[in-house]
Chain A
Amino acid sequence: MNSTEEYALQNGAIDSQTVLKVDNVTKVFESAAGRVAALRGIDLEIKRGEFVSIVGPSGSGKSTLLNIIGALDKPTSGKVYINGIDIFSLDDSEMATMRNHLIGFIFQSYNLINRTTVLKNVALPGIISEMGSEERERRAMRLLQVLGIGDKAQYKPVNLSGGQQQRVAIARSLMNDPAMILADEPTGNLDTKTGSEVFGLLRMLSSKFRRTVVMVTHNPELAEASDRAVYIRDGRVEKEVSH
């Protein structure tokens, strides 16, 4: 039994193949210009091992939805369940633990710590979860090797190419064996060829390693290559297309 399952079991949440359930989520931003509704009642369900793209134009609310799914931001109303846990019923500390154990984040601009080594960047979620140092290093190294950058372990991220940096970010997202990987425009900063390679890796995580991947993109080609594409416009699910 892996750590994700243990965590979910402790919370009585393993009851189906549903990893994520978004239930009528709304998000309204208050600003000087007035109230802006970014999400207007989103419902979504994602199964274990599924590769789902969230697609939409700028300002459609897709990144806001991803932030809410990842418990980085709170919805104005509605609920989000990950492995059956109502994540917004948790306090800040429990939510941090949940993010650490159940979610792996991949950002458009990689968000790596450039002053430290690639290996330590990958190991960071393990440091936070207090994984033993030996296991942590072994696991981080193994992930780097699987992603084809094992020889870059002692490099500083800043000395790597964009594609390599995104691989480091992918390795980091997998460190604590999460239930779900959330990727926000993971190929947005990469050229077409490198972007395809990174996308291929995410695809492999889903197909080969049965990882659930939720990817925000505005690239229709990538969306078509995923298991399912959820199209969002004006804060609503416009359509869902399974491939």
Chain B
Amino acid sequence: MNIKEIFALSIDALRERKTRSALTIMMVVVGSSLMVALNGMTAGFSNFINFQFSKLAPNILFVTSAQSEGGGDPFGGGPPPAPKITLNEAVVSRIRSLPFVSDVIPSYQAGITLEAGGKKADTTVFSIDPQKLYVIAPTIEFVEGSSIRQNDPSAILLSDRVANPPGENTPFAVVGQTIRATYTFVDPDTGKQESESRSFVVSGIMEPTGNPTIDSAVVFNRITGNAMLQKAGKYDAILVAAESGEFVDAVEEEIRRLYGNDIGITTPEAILETINEFIAGFSSFTTSIALVALLVGAVGIITTLYTSVTERIREIGTMKAIGAQNSFILVLFLSEALTIGIIGATAGMGVGVMGGYVLIAGFASQDPSSQNMTPVFLPQDMGTVWGLSVGLSVLAGMYPAWRASRTPPIVALRRE
């Protein structure tokens, strides 16, 4: 069979119906490009998350108290859930004495409102010994002029996001500026809402670290935190540094042995795993949407070729009259489907790559911290999408081509 000539005839046929062919190709382009773009975006997203987490200390365990269950009232009444254990200095000491533990960093956390130069900002305070920031985020950097004043009760460190709120032209606060922090709470004795305000001097501004706890918070001295946040020595979380990343599991096991399920332990690796599981789920979801788009394209090919077979029935009859075998007609129409698939899938790769960048840019515009995120296009992924698009196109062409090839010549010639 003269495949080259059959292809030439197919391309002539597609050219003859330019608009219809172009629209059908576009359907394949939409499906394949959507797949490429979404795959590229999720792979880029996953890469970005992995990169961000690689900047975190891999040896840190985040320890919190587990919560007791509420009053058992299905309608939400009864006492609120209470911590199962109190994270205090005794717990800190016990954990510090465990093997493979190199450091234990207790912390207080609360929501506060900051005021600077007439502007207000709600944020989270992460109250720890400021020097320990280097343990939690080893790659942390500060803007010029910053200083870490470990024992200064009025020093406050701002994250870049607090100091330079996204979407605003002027900074919220700069190094050396005095700002006011207000903590609002309910007095457990009176039940009334109270507030505690203090003035701080911005001693430094932290560059983004990749650690979400730090990157959206402010940091001040733990002693100040205990007093201002009404913590009475009850820590909200304890960060435990294992001697190295490989001892994280052993330390977790030791802590678990001491406190069982009364304690919650999270590691960067576990968070990463959870996020990656989410991304994988999201990726499956988006891929299935793109696959549906590709299937719509395949239906488009069926429709186009089926119409083409109907319109060209006399041509099919003529070809059979002059000796074309059924296989010749079959291959003729399949090569039209193949041509549509190849052009559509190849164009889809290009459009998909551009689409991936557009999607990521759209995502980054919502979240400035992800501005360095770029889509990732793996050759094997693109090859799979290309193959799938072309394969589906040929599959879609099967029925119309088969129908054309099986039409008896006299039936084809008689049909108007």
Residues of chain A having any CB pair with chain B under 8 Å: 67, 70, 72-73, 92-93, 96-101, 103-105, 107, 111, 113, 115-116, 124-125, 127-130, 133, 172, 176
Known interface pairs A73-B410, A93-B326. Does A130 touch B320 (Cβ–Cβ under 8 Å)? no
Query: Closest chain B residue to A173 by CB distance?
Result: B322
B144 located at the interface, meaning its Cβ lies under 8 Å from any Cβ of chain A in the complex: no
Q: Which A-chain residue is minimally distant from B413 (CB atoms)? A: A72
Q: What is the CB-to-nearest-CB distance from B342 to chain A, in angstroms, rounded to a whole number?
A: 20
A115–B323 touching, CB < 8 Å = no
Identity of the chain A residue whose Cβ is nearest the Cβ of B412 in the assembled complex: A72
Which residues from chain B contact A97 at a C-beta distance below 8 Å?
Answer: 323, 325
Complex CA–CA separation, A37 to B257 (angstroms): 97
Of B1, B9, B317, B319, which is within 8 A of A130 by CB?
A: B1
**Does A113 lie within 8 Å of B315, measured CB to CB?**
yes
B9 neighbours in A (Cβ, 8 Å):
116, 127
Query: What are the 10 closest A-B residue pairs judged by CB atoms, nearest first?
Result: A100-B323, A115-B16, A111-B318, A73-B410, A99-B323, A72-B410, A127-B5, A96-B325, A72-B409, A105-B321
A127 to B13, CA, bound (A): 16
CA–CA, A125 and B5, complex, Å: 12
Enumerate chain A residues within 8 angstroms of B326, measured Cβ to Cβ. 92-93, 96
Q: Does B19 contact A (CB under 8 A)?
A: no
- Asked whether, in the complex, the Cβ of A128 is within 8 Å of the Cβ of B318, the reply is no
Instruction: List residues of chain B with CB within 8 A of the CB of A100.
Output: 322-324
Residue of B nearest to A112 (CB): B318
B324 touches A111 (CB 8 A): no
Asked if A96 and B324 make an inter-chain contact with CB atoms under 8 angstroms apart, the answer reads: yes
Interface status of B12 (Cβ within 8 A of chain A): yes
Residues of A within 8 A of B315 (CB): 111, 113
Total A-B residue contacts, Cβ distance less than 8 Å: 68
Measured in the bound complex, the distance between the Cα atoms of B325 and A210 in whole Å is 28
Structural contact, A115 and B13, CB atoms closer than 8 A: yes
Known: A72-B410, A115-B13. A130 touches B2 (CB 8 A): yes
In the bound complex, residues from chain A placing their C-beta under 8 Å from that of B2 are: 127, 130
Mask: chain B, 9-24; 1 = CB below 8 Å from A; 0 = not: 1001101100000000
Q: What distance in Å separates the Cβ of B191 from its nearest Cβ neighbour in chain A?
A: 87
Set A101, A111, A116: member contacting B323, Cβ < 8 A: A101
B318 touches A115 (CB 8 A): no
Task: Please name 4 further chain A to chain B contacts, defined as beta carbons within 8 Å, in addition to the given A67-B410, A129-B323, sorted by A numbering.
Answer: A107-B413, A127-B5, A128-B323, A130-B1
A–B Cβ pairs within 8 angstroms, 9 of them: A67-B410, A72-B321, A98-B323, A99-B321, A99-B322, A111-B315, A111-B321, A111-B413, A116-B12
**Chain B window 183-208, contacts with chain A (Cβ cutoff 8 Å), 1 for yes, 0 for no:** 00000000000000000000000000
Chain B residues with CB below 8 A from A113, complex form: 315, 318
Report the minimum CB–CB distance from A28 to chain B (whole Å). Answer: 15
Contact of A125 among B15, B323, B409 (CB under 8 A): B323
